[in-house]
Structure 1
Amino acid sequence: HSDRGSQYASDEYQALLRHHHVVCSMSRKGNCWDNSVMERFFLNLKMERVWQRRYANHDEARRDINQYIVGFYNAVRLHSTLGYLSPTAYEAKPTVKEPISLSEIT
């Protein structure tokens, strides 16, 4: 997901995405909040993991980052927007269905 910066909207960049079968996701015009969730994720990833490590190669980085996302970020790390639950715990939480209200107007 990206903003509408000229580098992301350029024909060359868009052609590269299509070549690799990547679907582009961009923020709506004038709405900077569309990208905030992903920006926060990548900031957390960098601060909590990547900047704390020195990777020998791309494969090591890929394995470590995958372990961080699957083993910690989704399974353990508490997220304030999810009521201080991990995403895994939030997804497993049973949903409460509100009873259907009938209108008193007949």
Structure 2
Amino acid sequence: MGRSVESVCRVLREQGLQVAARTYRAHRAGYAGLSAGLVAMAYLMNTIHALAYRWDVASGAFRLRPEGLYGRRKMTALLARLGQPVDLDGVVQLASPRRIHRAMTLLRHNGIRRARRKRQRVDPGDGRRAGDLLGRDFTAPEPNLKWVTDFT
């Protein structure tokens, strides 16, 4: 636009903002684009997404592959088998388990868990319980006369 940094800084100083021209130039010279770590993380996220999902032409959406069920440990082992460098003996490389964990967290990809989920009892809210129809007498004079179950 034909205006020097000094004239813009002078106008800003008149408005009460203390900005030096060398501060602007230092900031401008220090910007080198994306960091190498950020680019490596983007490549890793792209690799994980390509392994976990496939594009389904019929539905026009991504579908989960069997590898998409993997958690962090299995995904780390899979990337190591495919030739991605992995963290060995404390030397952090492109696809360390910690980086894979971070990439999967950023992708919101968890894999599946085989453990049973905890079931939460839903409180009816009225504070009443089912009535005691047996009066706490669990004895029966003959078979199949009283049936008792525990549903806790």
TM-score (norm 2): 0.24
By percentage of residues, which structure has more helix?
1
TM score, norm. by length of structure 1: 0.32
From the CA coordinates, give the structure whose radius of gyration is larger. 2
